[in-house]
Structures are given as structure tokens and as C-alpha cells.
Structure 1
Amino acid sequence: MAEQTIVNKKADSFEKYLKDNNLNFFTRFDKGDENQTVLFRSNIQVEGQQLPVNVITDRTIYTIIRVFVGQHIIKENNRADFDSFMNQMNRSYKVFKYAATDDGDLFLDACMPSTQESFDPKVVRIVLDVVVDHLNHEYKKVMQLAWK
């Protein structure tokens, strides 16, 4: 019996949505892994900075918007302040969560569950707009913590 290949319909749907709406600021990158992960890479401008953003789709029920807020900005002397900030933000916002890597990178993730058939690229766009609006209001605070 031949193995059936399951495609990442969410990636194709998102790509079609981008083309249909003349949204040409994402670049598609197919990872070629077993989940058929596809990254749609771009940048968002916040306070004069270009923050990398990925829309990550695959064959699982999750689609993730990941914004890289800052690289190596959390250090020993500001970790407690960042932990407090992230906890406050994570309690205040349902659609996204802040997280930090062990080496001090800060990122923001929005996770949207859907099946391949129920995926709605418009929801991704709406959530991305909410994330950008949030960062436009909070990025100065993040940088103030980073420079402590």
C-alpha cells in the first residue's frame, strides 16, 4: 500500500490569501521536515526598529506568529524586571504570550489552533495586526528594561 502524503494546506491557503490581497511582504520558506513546516518570514516596524516575524504553519493543529522582540536583552541585572513584565503581559493578553530563551532573547508568540480544513488566513492577519498594535504601545517599555 502506497504511503499517502498529507500536504500543509494551511501554508497554501495563507499564500493564496497573501497573493489575493496583494500582501507581498512575506517570503515563503519550506523547511522540508516531516510536518511540512512552512515559514512565512517578514519584518514589522516598531519604534523605528525592524523586528523579524514568522508565521509558522505545518500539518499540526497549530499556526504560530512569532515576533523576535530582542536579542540578548535579558541579562542577570534585569531578569527579575523582565520576568515581572512578561508575567503582567501574559496575564493581560489572551491571544499572545511573551517568552525568553536561556541566552536572553525575548519573543512573542501567538498560537492559533485550527484543522487544515478550518484554517482561516484572515484570522492570522487580524492577530498579527493586534500584535503590531500591542508592540507599538509596549516596545519602549521593553527597551527601557533592556537598558537597565
Structure 2
Amino acid sequence: MEIDKEKEEIMNTKTIKMREFLEVNKIECFELQKMEDEQQTAIFRSRMQVKGQTLPLAILIDTSVYTLLQVQIAPEVIKEDKFLQLASFLNEMNNKYRLFKFVVSPDGDLLLNACLTAKDSNFDPALINAILGETLKFLESEYPRIMSKVWDEK
């Protein structure tokens, strides 16, 4: 695929590297959404199949040193009372698995985040891909336990 130089100018360096990595490795499961903001944010959207469920996945890349991988575990299910019930479990998981952090969005979405840091010069899309593989392995192992806690009515 030929790269449009005009479009490249409005994308940050890390986004260009990620897009090129996906193209070279023929990884075609991502859609690129470019935001019109000062940080030149780009969101690579896809889905992950885990235990028969399709989980939305996003990789957020901008001009900061942070790249965020985010998987939506459960949409709009963690209301205030459920959050209070789950807080101890989520904190335990956050302490046990240092790469991954569970957060609850203001809309009640249960999200799994992995944050990586890299300047433009040492941004490595292959590392992002490896972390995605680790994320899938982690979810294949822990998803049933996580969801049993989410749906527990205690």
C-alpha cells in the first residue's frame, strides 16, 4: 500500500510507524481513526475474541510519550454499587498483574489498560504487537474469573 505523504504530515511519527508495521506484516484487522486535536491522536480500533466474546480493542497513539492499549471487558455494567463491590478485586488484580490496569469509565465500562512509554525515536510497533499477544493470553486465562465477579450479585 502506498503511503500518502500529505496524510502523513498530519499524523504523528509513532502513528506512521504503527501503520507501516501493520502494512508490512499484513495485519489488516485495525481501522485507523485520526482525531483532529493538538496531540495528533490516532486510534487503531479492532476486536479481540475471548472465550466466545468479541471485545473492542483500541490502541491510542499521540505525540506524548504514552501509548495506551485498551480492551473493553464489559460495557456499561459497573454502576456505583457494583464498583464498590468490585473495588477490592480490581485493586488486587492491578497489584498482581503489573502490565495491566483495570479501570472503570464514567459510563460504567470495565476496561483493561496497558500503558507503554516511548519517544518517537524508540517507539516499537513490534512491542505493541507482543503486548497485544500477552493481553490475549491474560484474558483467555482470567476472563471467566473477571466476569464471574462482574455478574456476582453479592
The TM-score with structure 1 as length reference comes to: 0.90
Q: Gaps (5+ residues) in structure 2?
A: 1-8
Which of 117, 121, 133 does residue 117 from structure 1 map onto?
Answer: 121
Point out the structure with the larger helix share.
2
Question: In structure 2, what is the Cα distance between the partners aligned to 1:147 and 1:55?
Answer: 27
Give the aligned partner of residue 82 of structure 2.
78
2:55 to 51, 55, 63: 51
* Alignment RMSD: 1.6
* Aligned partner (choices 135, 141, 145) of residue 145 of structure 2: 141
Of residues 115-124 and 66-75 in structure 1, the stretch that sits farther from structure 2 once superposed is: 66-75
Query: 1:26 is matched with which residue: 23, 30, 41?
Result: 30
Is 1:56–1:65's contact at 8 Å kept on the other side of the alignment?
A: yes
Q: Give the one of 15, 34, 37 matched to 2:19.
A: 15
Matched pairs, number: 144
1:66 aligns with 2:63: no
Offset, 1:73 = 2.0
Q: Is the contact between residue 78 and residue 145 of structure 1 (CA under 8 Å) also seen in structure 2? A: no
Higher relative contact order structure (alpha carbons within 8 Å, sequence separation ≥ 6): 1
CA distance in 2, matches of 1:17, 1:102: 33
What letter is aligned with 2:114?
A
Find the aligned partners of 2:42 and 2:92 in 1 and give their Cα distance. Answer: 31
- Counterpart of 1:42 in structure 2 is 46
Letter in 2 for 1:11: T
Q: Give the superposition deviation at 1:71.
A: 1.1
Distance 1:9 1:90 in 2: 31
Aligned identity (percent) is 35
Residue by residue over 1:80-112, the C-alpha shift from the partner in whole angstroms, topping out at 9 and shown as x without a partner, is: 442122111110112121011244210011111
Looking at structure 2, the residues matched to 75 and 32 of structure 1 have their Cα atoms a distance apart, in angstroms, of 31
Deviations 1:15-73 (A, max 9, x none): 11011111100011111211000000000001111100101100100011011111122
Tell me the distance in 1 between the aligned counterparts of 2:75 and 2:150.
10
Displacement of 1:76: 4.8
Out of 101, 115, 120, the position equivalent to 1:97 is: 101
Q: Structure 1 residues 124-133 or 100-109, which shifts more?
A: 100-109
Q: What TM-score, normalized by structure 2, do the two folds share?
A: 0.87
Cα deviation, residue 7, structure 1: 4.8
